[in-house]
């Protein structure tokens, strides 16, 4: 799953199919597993309300970049550098 393939509504376009991430369980990378190896996405927010600059490339986050809020982790699909960034709160 590439960050650039996730739109601002939380829909992942794989090229073959569209998956609404808000109705799917997402696999959590092994290095940050907290409780489960997959979590439901609860809701999404506009990322720049919480994070002003991309942690990777330091660009200001555009309005169409979202932050997905899962059960115990957050996922930032950073389109600016096409990275999936995971955060544990």
Residues at the site binding Zn ion, with contacts judged by CB under 5 A: 54, 56-57, 78, 80-81
Contact 8, 66 (CB under 8 A): yes
Q: Which is nearer to Zn ion, 17 or 58 (CB)?
A: 58
CB of 62 to Zn ion, least distance (A): 10
For residue 80, give every residue at least 6 positions away whose Cβ sits within 8 Å of its Cβ, in sequence order, or none. Answer: 54, 56, 57, 59, 61, 62, 65
- Which of residues 62 and 71 has its CB atom nearest to Zn ion in the complex? 62
Residue (69 or 81) nearer to Zn ion, CB: 81
């Amino acid at each position: 799953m590439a960050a650039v393939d996730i739109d601002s509504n939380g829909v992942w376009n794989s090229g073959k199919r569209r998956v609404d991430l808000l109705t799917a369980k997402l696999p959590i990378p092994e290095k940050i597993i907290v409780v489960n190896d997959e979590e439901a996405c609860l809701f999404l927010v506009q990322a720049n309300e919480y994070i002003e600059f991309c942690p990777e490339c330091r660009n200001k986050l555009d309005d169409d970049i979202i932050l997905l809020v899962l059960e115990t982790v957050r996922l930032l699909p950073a389109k600016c550098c096409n990275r999936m960034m995971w955060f544990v709160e």
